[in-house]
């Protein structure tokens, strides 16, 4: 069994991003990322802090627009519009989830698709599904990079994606299909999850449910990608996979934390630099 080391690969990608930033700076372009954070969700605040810190380390300018839970939709739209027009901002990211009274789709659709470094605007969703160049959502993009690094080719493989969210599961399935895998997408209404996972050469799970994937659900020598992160009462972070038992059966496995999470941040930086490279075009 080999550990898919997302921490190590994310360091390499961040170093490449930093070099690209230095090249841009010679042309007087400093990539800029604007983050919109609404409300006081502590997990969201932690993620946003991690993104800001990573930007700083890579030489990317970042600004966080923090807004109270009670903010109106129009006020958020005004900020997004301002960032759309700001020539020094290359990427705009609205941290999800948003409070219930806010129409998430309306916020995502307000972002200029050229600055949509999260890849959540329907324009980029469509381009990615069609296999065209566009912004690929950072988490599934990071998974594909991790597989590539370890020379794991999904072509012709049975892939089971567990979790069908717009930001992880659906784009993950699209990328796997575009990589010529045969893809099962499972979700909370799936009747017999085990039947699907047992048939899979590669399992990508991102649900947020501790021990959802146990050793009896995994085929010998499968590749296990754990995208889930949950905090136990003890404070310890764990993924969706029963790591200690599943690791004995599989060929490759990502730890969680330390697998997909660091890759997500690295790919967000990569998308931001890509946008800066296209600035003004």
Cβ distance to ligand GUN smaller for residue 34 or 217 = 34
Which runs of consecutive H residues, i.e. helices, occur in the chain? 6-26, 42-58, 73-85, 104-110, 122-129, 138-149, 169-178, 193-198, 243-246, 260-277
Choice among 20, 116, 118, 240 that is catalytic: 118
Closest CB to ligand GUN belongs to which residue? 96
For residues 147 and 219, what is the distance between their CA atoms, to the nearest angstrom? 18
For the question of residue 95 being annotated catalytic, the response is yes
For the question of residue 270 being annotated catalytic, the response is no
Cβ distance to ligand GUN smaller for residue 120 or 252 = 120
**Helix, strand or coil, per DSSP, at residue 117:** coil
Span 165-204, contacts to ligand GUN by CB under 6 A: 167
Residues forming beta bridges with residue 32, ordered by sequence position:
61
Cβ distance to ligand GUN smaller for residue 24 or 34 = 34
Q: Single out the residue of 58, 92, 138, 260 in contact with ligand GUN (rule: CB under 6 A).
A: 138
Are 168 and 227 within 8 A, CB to CB? yes
- 94 scored as a contact of ligand GUN (CB under 6 A): yes
**Shortest approach of ligand GUN to residue 240 CB, angstroms?**
15
Cβ distance to ligand GUN smaller for residue 167 or 210 = 167
CA distances from 261 to 50, 158, 176, 177, 281 (A): 11, 24, 19, 22, 31
- 93 scored as a contact of ligand GUN (CB under 6 A): yes
For the question of residue 118 being annotated catalytic, the response is yes
Are 244 and 218 within 8 A, CB to CB? no
For residues 263 and 143, what is the distance between their CA atoms, to the nearest angstrom? 7
Q: Single out the residue of 95, 124, 197, 254 in contact with ligand GUN (rule: CB under 6 A).
A: 95
- 116 scored as a contact of ligand GUN (CB under 6 A): no
Near ligand GUN by CB under 6 A, which window of 67-75, 87-95, 174-182, 230-238? 87-95
């Amino acid at each position: 069994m080999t550990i898919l080391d997302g921490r190590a690969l994310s360091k390499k990608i961040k170093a490449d991003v930093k070099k690209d930033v230095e090249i841009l700076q010679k042309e007087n372009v400093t990539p800029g990322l604007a983050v919109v954070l609404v409300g006081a969700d502590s997990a969201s605040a932690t993620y946003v802090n991690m993104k800001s810190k990573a930007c700083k380390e890579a030489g990317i300018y970042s600004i966080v627009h923090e807004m109270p839970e009670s903010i109106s939709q129009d006020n958020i739209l005004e900020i997004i519009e301002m960032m759309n027009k700001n020539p020094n901002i290359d990427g705009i990211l609205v941290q999800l989830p948003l409070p219930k009274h806010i129409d998430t789709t309306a916020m995502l659709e307000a972002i200029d698709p050229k600055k949509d470094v999260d890849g959540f605007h329907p324009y980029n969703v469509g381009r990615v599904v069609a296999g065209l160049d566009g912004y690929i959502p950072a988490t599934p993009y990071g998974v594909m990079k991790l597989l590539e690094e370890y020379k794991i080719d999904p072509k012709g493989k049975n892939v089971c994606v567990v979790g069908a969210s717009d930001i992880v599961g659906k784009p993950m399935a699209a990328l796997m299909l575009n990589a010529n895998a045969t893809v099962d997408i499972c979700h909370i209404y799936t009747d017999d999850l085990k039947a699907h996972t047992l048939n899979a050469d590669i399992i990508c799970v991102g649900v947020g449910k501790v021990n959802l994937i146990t050793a009896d659900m995994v085929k010998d020598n499968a590749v296990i990608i754990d995208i889930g992160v949950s905090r136990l009462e003890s404070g310890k972070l764990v993924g969706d996979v029963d790591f200690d038992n599943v690791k004995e059966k599989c060929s490759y496995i990502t730890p969680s934390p330390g697998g997909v999470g660091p890759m997500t941040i690295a790919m967000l930086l990569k998308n931001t630099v890509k946008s800066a490279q296209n600035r003004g075009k």
